């Protein structure tokens, strides 16, 4: 997973719990490495939180406990991904309301 901006690129390295940072125009060189302290497991809490989300979802079904994410959260995440793709395609800033 990564982010490309007008000043550089950030890319996750989950296996090593770090973020790689390249400044704009320097992608071919060595990145700046930013170490991340994980709470537990490999990959920031178990592959971006999935290790916590799945058992919590099962608990919510069995006990009626509140889920970690709502339908609205999922819709927001999907809209964000669609807007990001549109921004890449059109090369314009997309505003989400």
Q: What Rg do the C-alpha atoms of the chain give, in angstroms?
A: 17
Beta strands in the chain (DSSP E): 2-5, 8-13, 18-23, 32-35
User: Which pLDDT score, from 0 to 100, does residue 63 have?
Assistant: 93
Mean pLDDT in residue range 53-72: 83
User: Looking at the DSSP assignment, which residues form a beta bridge with residue 21?
Assistant: 10, 32
User: Which pLDDT score, from 0 to 100, does residue 47 have?
Assistant: 55
> pTM score, two decimals?
0.43
Main-chain dihedrals φ then ψ at residue 80, nearest 5 degrees: -65, -45
> What's the CA gap between 97 and 92, in Å, rounded?
16
Question: Which residue would you say has higher pLDDT here, 93 or 29?
Answer: 93
pLDDT tens digits for range 24-34:
765 567 889 98
pLDDT tens digits for range 13-26:
877 778 889 887 65
Mean pLDDT in residue range 75-95: 91
Q: Are 34 and 21 in contact (CB under 8 A)?
A: yes
User: Which pLDDT score, from 0 to 100, does residue 38 have?
Assistant: 65
The bridge status of strand 8-13 relative to strand 18-23 is antiparallel
- Domain-wise residue ranges, the chain: 2-66
User: Which pLDDT score, from 0 to 100, does residue 43 have?
Assistant: 44
């Amino acid at each position: 997973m990564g982010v490309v901006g007008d000043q550089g690129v950030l890319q996750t390295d989950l296996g090593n719990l770090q973020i790689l940072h390249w400044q704009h125009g320097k992608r071919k060189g060595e990145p700046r490495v930013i170490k991340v302290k994980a709470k537990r497991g490999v990959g920031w809490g178990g592959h971006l939180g999935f290790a916590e989300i799945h058992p919590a979802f099962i608990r919510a079904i069995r006990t009626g406990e509140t889920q970690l994410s709502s339908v609205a959260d999922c819709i927001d995440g999907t809209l964000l991904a669609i807007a990001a793709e549109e921004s890449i395609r059109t090369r314009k800033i997309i505003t989400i309301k």
